[in-house]
Structure 1
Amino acid sequence: MKKYARVVNGKVDNIYETDNPITDEFPSNQVWVNVTALPKIDYSWNAVNTDGVWTFTDSDMYGQPSQLSLQLRSARTPRLERANNTLASSALAYKVELGLATPADEAALLAYKQFFIDMSNVNKQPGYPLTVTWPEVP
């Protein structure tokens, strides 16, 4: 899996991981930089291209995550935790796998799978990360 940072006006405004070429995921007119080798990168970091070499620096001199990054994480984390906790406690995946699921169980598992897909695509929304429409937990 490769990690990419989208650069807009000299700042990182999106971070995305994919096994596919980034141009398969986003329009080719966007500036995406492969940052897989970087140990750390976050939203709002400064991005400078000098003769084809990108450098990224934390916009916060104390190395704290950006306010935007904290807001996104605080909105994302409880949704994922709620969905994961429900799946673990209800054993939906196991019921389906073992052939013990009711039609309602199967529909519920499909809804959770779609939720996780929708959560993984949040950063593809127009206006992300400044505006986000979060998927509802089933």
Structure 2
Amino acid sequence: MKKYARVVAGKVDNIFETANPITDEFPADQVWVDVSALPKIDYSWNAVNTDGVWTFTDSDMWGQPSMLAIQMRNERMTRFDKVNFTLASSALVQKVELGLATPAEEAALLAYKQFFIAMSQVNKQPGYPLSVIWPEVP
């Protein structure tokens, strides 16, 4: 898995992880930089290309994450926490794997899987991260 940062107007505006080439996931005319080796990177960080070498610096001199990054993480974690709690407490995955689930439970698990897929694609939305349509929790 590689981690990429999309650079727009000298700032990181999207972060995406994929096992595929980034051009398989996004249009080739976007500027994506492999940041897998960086210990930390966040939205709104400054991005500078000097003779083909990218450097990234926190846009806040005190090292605090941007409000946008905090909001995105909170929204994402709230949704994942709710779904993971429901899946763990209902043993839905285990019921389906063991053949003990009702048709309604099998349909519910499929809805949860579709939710996880939709969440993994949130940052592909036009206007992301300033405009996001979050998938509904099943």
| TM-score category (smaller protein) | over 0.9
Task: Give 3-state SS (helix, strand or coil) of 1:37's partner.
Answer: coil
Match of 1:137 in 2: 137
- List aligned pairs for 1:1-138, cutoff 5 A: 1-138=1-138
Give 1:76 shift.
1.1
Tell me the percent identity. 80
Looking at structure 1, the residues matched to 74 and 9 of structure 2 have their Cα atoms a distance apart, in angstroms, of: 26
Task: Give 3-state SS (helix, strand or coil) of 1:85's partner.
Answer: helix
Looking at structure 1, the residues matched to 110 and 81 of structure 2 have their Cα atoms a distance apart, in angstroms, of: 18
Looking at structure 1, the residues matched to 71 and 103 of structure 2 have their Cα atoms a distance apart, in angstroms, of: 37
Give 1:94 shift.
0.4
Runs of 4+ in 1 over 3 A off after TM superposition: none
For residue 111 of structure 1, what is the amino acid of its counterpart?
A
TM-score by length of 1: 0.99
Structure 2 residue runs without a partner (length 5+): none
Looking at structure 1, the residues matched to 6 and 19 of structure 2 have their Cα atoms a distance apart, in angstroms, of: 16
Looking at structure 1, the residues matched to 53 and 73 of structure 2 have their Cα atoms a distance apart, in angstroms, of: 29
Cα RMSD of the aligned pairs, angstroms, is 0.4
C-alpha distance after superposition, 1:58-108 (max 9, x if no partner): 000000111110010111111100000000011111001000010000000
Task: Give 3-state SS (helix, strand or coil) of 1:47's partner.
Answer: strand
Give 1:18 shift.
0.3
Looking at structure 2, the residues matched to 5 and 56 of structure 1 have their Cα atoms a distance apart, in angstroms, of: 10
Structure 1 residue runs without a partner (length 5+): none
Task: Give 3-state SS (helix, strand or coil) of 2:132's partner.
Answer: coil
Task: Give 3-state SS (helix, strand or coil) of 2:17's partner.
Answer: strand
C-alpha distance after superposition, 1:28-78 (max 9, x if no partner): 000000000000000000000000000000000000111110010111111
For residue 109 of structure 1, what is the amino acid of its counterpart?
L
